[in-house]
Amino acid sequence: FEKMKDGVRVFNCARGGIIKESALVDALNSGKVAAAGLDVYESEPPAGNHPLRSHPNVNLTPHLGASTQEAQESVGVEIAKAVADAVRGGEIRNAINMPSLDASTIEKVGPYLDLCSKIGTFVQQLALDKIESLTITYYGKVVDLDSNSLTRSVLKGFLQNISGSNVNFVNAMVLVERLGVGVEVVCSSAETDFTELIKVEAKCHNGEVVSVEGTLMGKGNSPRVVAINGRDVEVEPCGYLLVIANSDETGIVGQLGTIIGDAGVNIASMSLSRNEIGGIALNIAGLDSEVDDVTMEKIHAIKAIKQAELVYLEC
């Protein structure tokens, strides 16, 4: 207090003990401190005979932070209600790893968040070189939704295998920026074969362009990948997916089935697409389990195979 100007006014609403109360009383009595206001104390509540209680130039208020039993109970109840609302699919508020979303927004965008995340993860695993930019395009009914939440979900999925558990809806934008990956969001009025469609296109350092498109299907709003690199497919984005581009020749599917079967892995589903007879075919095989490196080498050894990538998406 000696270093302060005469007639200073002192307020402490931070922590009790920052100001030595006995020294404050002396400074008040000497006139060094003209007035003081406190809502935190060395001992809470201050004793009934504490000189600050009766001093005419002191204004004391109860500590209303979470240090009182009543406040702690109220904060605990509020947190419990917020968690319950979030896990039940209701409003998300005051979360540290996700933007606050009201119940109405959650109801509308909720089914799309998982789809967006999986498309982002899919694109990242398909790219053979460093990705320099992402273009996220929304079509149809999706245009009217909260694109910020959807975009964050795409980026969260994209970063999943890069940043691991450290990525969330809040920091996804920042982490992508730190990686030097540009992000463009487009809300398109162009017509598609689907009433709602989300497309993520990645441009790589080597000039390669990779794209994945997805939508929701059925009464259960099940996520589906409906195009890869512009080729029509229908794939459930779940588990291990073997994505193969090959010359459109007879016997390729049989060779793949034999190699995968010899590895003891069951093929659960298969989606086939080709651009023209004798052109390039795209095969996506859903597998019940992972295939090892030896099996992948055998697949790559097939002369007709142009590219083969094993993708994993959480179900």
Higher pLDDT residue, 275 or 211? 211
Q: What is the pLDDT of residues 45-101, one digit of tens each?
A: 888 889 998 898 999 887 766 666 776 777 788 778 878 766 665 666 666 656 666
Name the residue with higher pLDDT: 169 or 155: 155
Q: State the amino acid at position 114 in one-letter form.
A: D
**CA dist., res. 241 & res. 313, Å (int):** 8
Which pairing describes strands 8-12 and 33-38: parallel, antiparallel, or unpaired?
Answer: parallel
C-alpha 72/C-alpha 250 separation (Å) is: 71
86 against 276, higher pLDDT: 276
Report residue 249's pLDDT band, with 50, 70 and 90 as the boundaries: confident
- CA–centroid distance for 121 within its chain: 11
Mean pLDDT of 273-299: 87
β-sheet bridge partners, residue 37: 11, 59
How does residue 135 score in pLDDT terms, banded at 50, 70 and 90?
very high
| Length in residues, the chain | 315
**Alpha-carbon span 200 to 151, nearest angstrom:** 10
User: Structure tokens of 66?
Assistant: 């979470």
Residue that wins the pLDDT comparison between 275 and 298: 298
Q: Give the pLDDT confidence score for residue 64 in this predicted structure.
A: 64
Q: Which two structure tokens, joined as six digits, stand for 143?
A: 């245009």
**Residue among 134, 123, 129 at smallest CA distance from 180:** 134
pLDDT of res. 92: 66
Distance CA 77, CA 260 (A): 54
> What's residue 101's pLDDT?
65
191 — pLDDT class (breaks 50, 70, 90) = confident
pLDDT-derived band at 155, boundaries 50, 70, 90: very high
Distances, alpha carbon 264 to alpha carbons 43, 58, 261, 295, 311, in Å: 70, 81, 5, 10, 18
* Active-site residue, 15 included: yes
| Active site annotation includes 44 | yes
Q: Can you give the pLDDT at residue 198?
A: 94
The amino acid occupying position 53 is R
Task: Answer yes or no: is pLDDT of 116 > 70.
Answer: yes
Q: What is the pTM of this model?
A: 0.67
Answer for the pair 169, 156: CB distance below 8 angstroms, yes or no.
Answer: yes
Q: Considering the candidates 15, 53, 178, 205, report the single residue annotated as catalytic.
A: 15
- The yes-or-no answer on residue 196 being catalytic is no
Averaged over 276-288, what is the pLDDT? 86
- Of the listed ranges 141-150, 178-187, 291-300, the least confidently predicted one is 141-150
Top pLDDT among 68 and 245 is at: 245
Q: Which among 9, 44, 184, 314 is annotated as catalytic?
A: 44
Q: Exposed (0-12), middle (13-18) or buried (19+): which is 138, by Cβ within 10 Å?
A: buried
Give yes or no for a contact between 181 and 134, defined as CB atoms under 8 angstroms apart: yes
Q: What is the mean predicted confidence (pLDDT) over 267-285? A: 84
Residue 304: Cβ-neighbour burial (10 angstroms; 0-12, 13-18, 19+): middle
* C-alpha closest to that of 198 among 105, 281, 102, 122: 122
> What percentage of the chain exceeds 90 in pLDDT?
33
Mean pLDDT of 262-279: 85
Buried b (16+ CB within 10 A) or exposed e, 32-69: bbeebebbbbeeeebeeebbbeebeebebeebeeeeee
Q: Of these residues, 63, 93, 224, 274, which one is catalytic? A: 63
